[in-house]
Structure 1
Amino acid sequence: MTLIARLANDVQLMFRRPPRQQYGALCYRVKKKSGEPEMLLLTSRDTGRWVIPKGWPMSGKLSHEVAAQEAYEEAGVRGTVETEMLGAFIYNKMLRDGVKIACRVQVYALEVSDLAKNFKEKGERKLEWVSFEEAANRVNEPELKALILAFSRRLGNRQTTSEGQVSSK
């Protein structure tokens, strides 16, 4: 590598900002009749791509509480949120001024028990309950796809174990 190329690379690294932090909820439920788990996806307001509810830190709230709050505001769902992070993913967010920034989203599982008829962003997004496999196919971020599939496997193991059967998964 030439000296100029190394200097250019060093300057780029100096001005690269670390990802901004967000918190998100992987919202799921188990169908009562079939026992099949499903996950909630929603569209982003700007691009219409399939995403999970997520948002910026909130003063006085812990990260998992922010994830639960965002799930309610964006999708009208309430339930039990896990306090331990499932994992994280990075995506590029387009700000209102057109600037793209990297965001790191810590994801928390939220088992949905209640669906609100009215919520802050109702009508601004499309909401859909889908299988975990379909959810993984719809999202763009590879790390989020992996989180969804890993959680699906964990949930499958937990259900099999809770039914008193030996899990072979």
Structure 2
Amino acid sequence: MYAMEEMVPLSPPKQRPNQRYTNQGGRRIVGCIPYRFKTSCNSETGEKGVSVNQLEVLVISSQNGGAILFPKGGWEESETMEEAVCREAEEEAGIRGNIEDRLGEWIYVSRRHKANYEGVMFSFIVKEELSEWLECSRERRWVSVEEVKKGCPHIWMKEALDKLVEKLFGGVEHRPVSEVDSRVD
């Protein structure tokens, strides 16, 4: 499925060696939505569970520090898509974890390079946060779904977040921990 933002018929950016490109010269980008849950206990039943309100996603600052976004970057020819996702998560956000679901594909406009890029996003359950990482100049922080919807300037990333929430909760506001136990610390 493709979600379309404004398409720009401009010349492609200068190509980087070892990166994957579309037929039109735009970069192929992969990224993830890193997430974790806080658990709660139902006071009536005593059952532990999770709700959308306890879903936290990890965002990073943009390179210029002006926006929040999810880790993403170029997919190199020498790696699988999944390897690229894990590399970008570690380089940009200093996290390690497990890739889960492919959330979708989007075509979006790179504001910096004025070209149409293809992006693929995955859900990513965080297992480890590193104290040092390659791009530690970027701020990283755990935020709510609502904070991302208010603060992220990229429509396609917000659509990917909606896909994550739908996959995790399927329209239900609360799930027993037994349904998501491998994802809850």
TM-score relative to the length of structure 2: 0.68
Kindly tell me the number of residue pairs found equivalent between the two proteins.
148
Counterpart contact for 1:136–1:146, Cα < 8 Å: no
1:160 aligns with 2:171: no
Moved over 4 A (4+): 12-16, 32-35
The one of the two structures with greater contact order (alpha-carbon pairs below 8 A, sep at least 6) is: 2
Q: CA deviation at 1:68?
A: 1.4
Residue matched to 1:60? 78
Residue matched to 1:150? 163
Q: Secondary structure at the match of 1:160?
A: strand
Residue matched to 1:3? none
CA RMSD of aligned residues (A): 2.8
Q: CA deviation at 1:59?
A: 3.4
Residue matched to 1:86? 103
Deviations, residues 16-50 of structure 1 (Å, cap 9, x unaligned): 83542110011001125674210011111136211
Q: Give the Cα separation in 2 of the matches to 1:134 and 1:85.
A: 23
Q: Secondary structure at the match of 1:119?
A: coil
Alpha-carbon spacing, 1:13–1:129, altered in 2? closer, same or farther (3 Å): closer
Q: Give the Cα separation in 2 of the matches to 1:13 and 1:52.
A: 26
Structure 1: runs of 5 or more not aligned: 1-11, 165-169
Deviations, residues 54-101 of structure 1 (Å, cap 9, x unaligned): 11112332112211110111111111112x521123333355xxx422
Q: CA deviation at 1:162?
A: 5.2
Alpha-carbon spacing, 1:14–1:92, altered in 2? closer, same or farther (3 Å): closer
Computing the radius of gyration from Cα coordinates, the structure with the larger value is: 1
Counterpart contact for 1:136–1:149, Cα < 8 Å: no
Instruction: Report which of the two has the higher share of strand.
Output: 2
Instruction: Report which of the two has the higher share of helix.
Output: 1
Counterpart contact for 2:62–2:69, Cα < 8 Å: yes
Structure 2: runs of 5 or more not aligned: 1-7, 13-23, 42-49, 180-185
